[in-house]
A = this chain, B = another copy of it.
Amino acid sequence: MENDCIKVFAPATVANVACGFDVIGLAMEAPGDEFIMRRSSKPGVTITKVHGANLSTDPAQNVCGVAIQALLQKLGNPDAGIELELFKNITPGSGIGSSAASSAGAVVGANHLLGEPFTRKQLVRFAMEGERLASGAAHADNVAPAILGGFTLVRSYKPLDITSLHTPGELWVTVIHPQIEVKTSDAREILKQKVLMTDAIRQWGNVGALVAGLYQENYELISRALEDVIVEPVRAILIPAFYELKVKCKEAGALGGGISGSGPSVFMLSKGEANARNVAEMMNTVYAPLGVDYKIHVSKINTEGVKISKV
């Protein structure tokens, strides 16, 4: 058992899917963080190495360590030994759930090595402890889709109430990550504490329609519902050429999109791979002249969540 070694893939995710601010997220096929994990005779979590980012290997200072430790505590077996090596492929601060992928992969991998004592849904709570370390708040809107796959909805935190939504088969996502820094705390601070009732009603009409559109596999309804009248108008200023990008991506075939998480990444949903790739090209066309470095990702919606394979 101790030498059995697994490979774990934990996907990037988009939180704050347009109207679904703070509640709706989705998982991507790529990019994703990767782990080599095994049981260890050394009690607790051992992080042997982090590749690709300058992150602590102290398990108390690393989201993987904190998330797995929360799992071990709940299991009543804090001295079980888990060893991991992390290949950090998702750039921290990109707005596509970098810390969430690490937390999610860590707990799903550990749970597998321990004989699956918890369901995937139960694992969300442990991964949220990683999010607490990363951002000061135990958000679920990235870790839920990372663990469960597809689209997820966080109805409430007290009590924690998460449900998986249906994912239409031809739905793809294109993400552009401008390499600028947007601090989540800053992005939160510029939000208003109160919103107009008329805007709030429009927003929840859109949320209802987006969920209905996913279940109906009605891409036109999804397109119309991908509207955020509350957060996007405030945060768009943080992202270079946001509105130009959005308008041109829709012209290029996107159903719609918005700011991914608290930015700086921007996501666009499309029906089918061809549209998603056209959108990527358009993103390139808009961003190439700006003098800002960027990465573009094209991915089908990942309906599995974290994936485990033998090494």
Contact = CB atoms under 8 A, between A and B. Distances in A.
Nearest to A225: B155
A155 B23 contact: no
A195 B204 contact: no
A221 B22 contact: no
A213 B163 CA distance: 9
A202 interface: yes
A68 B166 CA distance: 40
A49 interface: no
B202 A204 contact: no
Interface stretch (A186-194, A259-267, A294-302): A186-194
A164 to B, nearest CB: 9
A21 B212 contact: no
A38 B230 CA distance: 49
Contacts of A206: 155-156
A215 interface: yes
Interface in A84-125: none
Contacts of A201: 21-23
Interface residues of A, number: 42
Contact of A221 (B163, B205, B213, B218): B163
Contacts of A209: 153, 155, 161, 163
A279 to B, nearest CB: 24
Given A23-B208, A155-B225, A211-B208, A192 B197 contact: yes
A84 to B, nearest CB: 33
A182 interface: no
Nearest to A196: B194
A200 interface: yes
A163 B207 CA distance: 13
A265 B260 CA distance: 42
Given A163-B212, A207-B208, A208-B20, A193 B196 contact: yes
A224 interface: yes
Contacts of A191: 197
A165 interface: yes
Contacts of A12: none
Residue in A165, A197, A201, A224 with the greatest tally of chain B CB atoms within 10 Å: A201
A10 interface: no
Given A156-B224, A208-B211, 11 more contacts: A23-B204, A23-B208, A153-B212, A155-B205, A155-B209, A193-B197, A195-B200, A197-B230, A200-B203, A204-B207, A207-B207
Interface of A: 19-24, 153-156, 161, 163, 165-166, 191-197, 200-213, 215-216, 218, 221, 224-225, 230
A-B interface, 3 closest residue pairs, ranked by CB to CB distance from nearest:
A155-B209, A204-B204, A215-B215
